[in-house]
Amino acid sequence: MNLYEKISAIMADVQYLAKDDKVEFGSTKYKALSEEKVTSIMRAECLKYKLVVFPVSQCANRSGSITHVDVTYRMVNVEDPEEYIEIASCGDGADTQDKGSGKAMTYAFKYMWLRTFAIPTGEDPDKISSAELDAKQAAEEASVPCAGCGKKITDGKKRDGSPWAAADIVKYSSGRFSRPLCPGCQRKAFQAEKAAEGEGA
């Protein structure tokens, strides 16, 4: 079999991949198709039809917490090593530490299989991923350090127990004390003001 006949045979073997994973992000919950399932199934097919797939080039860049990779994979017919095709794929990985590249590479590898063999999954990852990313970016942008203790100002509660959003805490304290303060440091600032008033009296 030539390379294209093997690809066609695999497409006949793998006509659909059902979601096998549950993802939860805040109030968002959805089912997804795991990279582990895709890779294990397609690896078995490659062994069966004697195909080898490996990356031959990759470039990456990072913007904020998002790492983007562009990868070119080569699919080789083991029975005729001179016969191969190259497949372009890409992926994004959101991570504030050092795992962004790995996440992006995993995404690119998973979708290389799905797109090359036109495997339907019933999922719309772009819509979900965008929603997750927007929420993460909004949270990061709203995260301001306290001028008193240096810790990030997060959502809290008012004196009456009602919710107090981090953005509102920053807005209030910046107006009241001319600098962003967390609720704890605001209490200290109030106490310092009262003490100063007492000394002045």
Tally Cβ neighbours within 10 Å of residue 17. Answer: 20
What type of residue is 158? K
Q: What is the average per-residue pLDDT within 50-76?
A: 95
Q: Are 70 and 88 in contact (CB under 8 A)?
A: yes
Q: Is the pTM of this model over 0.75?
A: no
Tell me the pLDDT tens digit for each residue of 160-170.
888 888 888 88
Sorting pLDDT into bands at 50, 70 and 90, what band is 138? low
Angle between helices 183-200 and 166-177 (to 10 degrees): 20
The per-residue pLDDT for range 4-25, each reduced to its tens digit, is: 999 999 999 998 888 777 766 5
Contact assessment for residue 62 and residue 133, using Cβ atoms and an 8 Å cutoff: no
Q: Where are the beta strands (DSSP E) in the chain?
A: 21-25, 28-32, 51-63, 66-77, 84-94, 156-157, 163-164
Q: Which of 167, 106, 121 is nearest to 142 (CA)?
A: 167
Instruction: Please say whether the beta carbons of 56 and 89 come within 8 A.
Output: no
Backbone angles phi, psi at 72, to 5 degrees: -115, 125
Which domains does the chain carry?
3-142 (3.30.390), 156-200 (no CATH)
Provide the terminal-to-terminal Cα distance of the chain, rounded to the nearest Å.
96
Residue 130's pLDDT is: 52
